[in-house]
Chains A and B, each alone.
Chain A
Amino acid sequence: MGTNDIDPDTGTAPRFVSRGFTGRARRPRSARLPPGQYDVGSGFPVLSAGPTPNTHLSRWDFTVQGQVDRVRHYSWADFRALPREPVEVDIHCVTSWSKFDTRWEGVSVDTLLGDVESGAEYALAFSDGGYTTNLPLADITGGRAWVVDTYDGAPLRPEHGGPARLLVPHLYFWKSAKWVRGLVLGEVEELGFWERFGYHRYGDPWRQQRYAGD
């Protein structure tokens, strides 16, 4: 097939077609599916870099620190007493699965930040087990991010990030840090765990920002 010829200058074909590949019989592609993603349906894959932590709720807290007027601490009881919101969103993993209409419940990051005074533009979320991920503050405020402890009406299971995880559905799901324990606000963007290993610093699924340089 002519379209498979390699361009000697670039080593790639302008319109490569995989010989014999038609894709499985597919429904019309949902407009809710970002490019390069597939609908995982009822499944919910688990991906993480280390063992699942086991933090007792009596030792759990959530901290807002870094460039702030005053550090904010929330115990589990404090956190559970905050105003809660149901959230129903589509999520998109960089490993190319997407899952539609996931139902969560938790506390808006706006609520957790509360009256924090800060000139920061970035946040570094940190988790039990040492995981971190960086986010522009504008992306986790204004009703765009939550700390959730409930999935599909039940307490969030540990392998999915329980007792609580960050939920930032408009970015690739590695930004939605499992086992989240707090945010460090700062003027400078400090890269997180996967971002230091070559993943994209922002991670917009609609622009396929999977890896650095995408």
Chain B
Amino acid sequence: MAPAALRRRLNWQLAEVLSVTTETPTARRLRLAVHDWAGHAAGQHVDVRLTAPDGYTAQRSYSIASPPQAPHLDLVVERLENGEVSEYLTEELRSGDLLELRGPIGGYFVWPATAAGPVQLIAGGSGVVPFLSMLGHHRATRSEIQVRLLYSARTEADLIGTGELAGPGISTTLTLTRAVPPGWEGLRRRVDVTMLAEHTLAPERSPLVFVCGPTAFVETVAAGMLSLGHDQSRIKTERFGATGGP
């Protein structure tokens, strides 16, 4: 059931932009101060609304990258081709600006409040963002739950949150699908069933599985995990496409 906090009305509020930093060549991290933030669960998102002087508005959803324990709210936004909201957030927005948002939203793709068993996270591209919040939460609570992350990106430069992927009880496998730097020790191909079998928690351990990434990635991974014997009800997915939210 939904936490009670989600029942309240979600009002638009103004956040102050504390900083905009370069996460990857195409992604920026927006650090926000939100007055009276109601708190969030790791994995939730916010809706951001932009308003032009003539009253035109555009809104999109962005996953929260910071853990609930952080004193600020971080969003990581990837610039999409012809994405009027993502272009503004990654190229125009700067510290001191105000940004209208509301949230937190979504109570399903979240770190379970009462998880006992292991958790498997599988990310493609900027699909890793909600997992940054989960991993931060895991560290902040000194959780003893075993977590494995399998994270696929195009190149090393495209990796998001590189300083936040490790911690006690967390084991991370990276795979790069295009260019591999000299001395790269991770994997070097697209995620496939063989990789899932070798680098994710076995179905016998009944992990809770979170999959986030582009549609084709999520389809491949979710089908692969089913074929390895994971229970459908243990697999939670969140998808975005090139057309899913410019």
Q: List the interface of chain A (C-beta within 8 A of B).
A: 4, 6, 11-13, 16-24, 26, 29, 35-36, 38, 40-41, 43-53, 95-97, 129-130, 159, 193-194, 196-198, 210-214
Contacts and interface: CB of A to CB of B under 8 A. Distances in A.
A197 B108 contact: yes
Contact of B243 (A19, A44, A159): A44
| Interface core residue of A4, A26, A44, A52 (most chain B CB under 10 Å) | A52
B193 interface: no
Nearest to A44: B243
B223 A18 contact: no
Nearest to A3: B53
Interface in B40-66: 47, 49-53, 56-61
B235 interface: yes
B141 interface: no
A29 B56 CA distance: 9
Contacts of A197: 2, 6, 106-108
B204 interface: no
Chain B: interface secondary structure? mixed
Nearest to A40: B243
Interface string B82-109: 1010001000110001111000011111
Contact of B51 (A17, A29, A96): A17
A41 B222 CA distance: 28
Given A45-B215, A96-B60, A51 B100 contact: no
B97 A19 contact: yes
B35 interface: yes
B48 to A, nearest CB: 10
Contacts of A198: 2, 6-7, 10, 105-107
A46 B107 contact: no
A93 to B, nearest CB: 9
A161 B84 CA distance: 29
Nearest to A130: B233
Q: Size band of the B side of the interface?
A: 35 or more
Contact of A53 (B14, B97, B98, B232): B232
B53 A52 contact: no
Contacts of B240: 45, 47
Given A17-B52, A46-B241, A95-B61, 11 more contacts: A6-B14, A12-B13, A16-B51, A36-B49, A44-B243, A45-B244, A47-B244, A49-B108, A51-B232, A97-B244, A159-B219
B237 A22 contact: no
Contacts of A6: 14, 98
A19 B89 CA distance: 11
